[in-house]
Homo-oligomer: A and B are copies of this chain.
Amino acid sequence: MELRRLKYFVVLARHRHFGRAAAELSIAQPGLSQQIKVLEQELKVSLLDRGPQGVTLTPAGRALLEGAEPLLAAADELGERVRAVADGTHGRLRVAYSRSGADDRITDVIRRFRKDHEDVQVSVTTGMSSWCLRLLQDGGLDAAFVRGIIREPGITAAVVAEEEAAVILPADHPLAARDRLTRRDLRGLPVVLWPREAGPTLYEELVADVWPDGPPQLAAEEPDFEQVVASVAEGTGVSVMDLGRARKLCPPGVVIRHFAEHPPRYAVSFAHRTNDPNPVLARFASYVRQAPR
């Protein structure tokens, strides 16, 4: 059975007239007669009764008409869906990001992408960078925003944001009087940090950069950044974190001080499998590239 013949039949069944149906199909009448005959032979069924006043459908013809219309519609829709998948306006995208000071910009680009691509099923999760990369390699993710500069086999990544780290300390701390601080200023001070496992990439980069001579004196280890800030506010110690997050979280009573020179910086990269053919990913990547740094 061929869709062309079904199409011919549907048009004929609607017009109940070979001549007019042929005209609508832009073919000559004998061709239509012949194709309908072929269809009847294929199905071994008489589809219509040829009367002198046009034609009437047999019960089998009615059944075919009822079935053929949705079939043709389904075929059309399939074609369009395939085309949509090919140009990335239809499909699925699984994104993850590791929390960072760039959260706002990340969720923002995802929001804009979703708004423009209602036929794309976008699923978003968060997790540590290493977890994201592993999932990416295993095919469990399509794209991820991760910390640092990525050099993993099979993964292509580009830096999309760069965050500066800053010191946060209680407003009444002696160092709060200074405008800018140096790494040496922090030496020996009690420090509040988060558990290394809660964000290993950032943790190690920062600790190695700010306390190059050895690990800091840990006054407290708080389970998340909100509580780190609260702990600083209570005077437990000072802390260091990325500027974006510091600005977002700092309550009154806590002040932010920049590093005087060579502020610690860390990158946020957009990563995906190299040569991933998913057109949705390509579209999303272009959104990420266009997003403000």
Contact = CB atoms under 8 A, between A and B. Distances in A.
Classify the interface of chain A: helix, strand, loop or mixed.
Answer: helix
Contacts of A280: 59
A59 B279 contact: yes
A2 to B, nearest CB: 6
Given A71-B75, A279-B59, A82 B43 contact: yes
A86 B59 contact: yes
What interface size band does chain A fall in? 35 or more
A98 B206 CA distance: 95
Contacts of A81: 63, 67
Contact of A75 (B1, B45, B46, B79): B1
Interface in A19-63: 42-47, 49, 58-60, 62-63
A285 interface: no
Contacts of A128: none
A86 B2 contact: no
Nearest to A49: B277
Contact of A60 (B1, B45, B75, B86): B86
B45 A86 contact: yes
A153 to B, nearest CB: 19
9 contacts: A43-B86, A44-B83, A44-B86, A45-B82, A58-B277, A60-B83, A60-B279, A63-B81, A71-B75
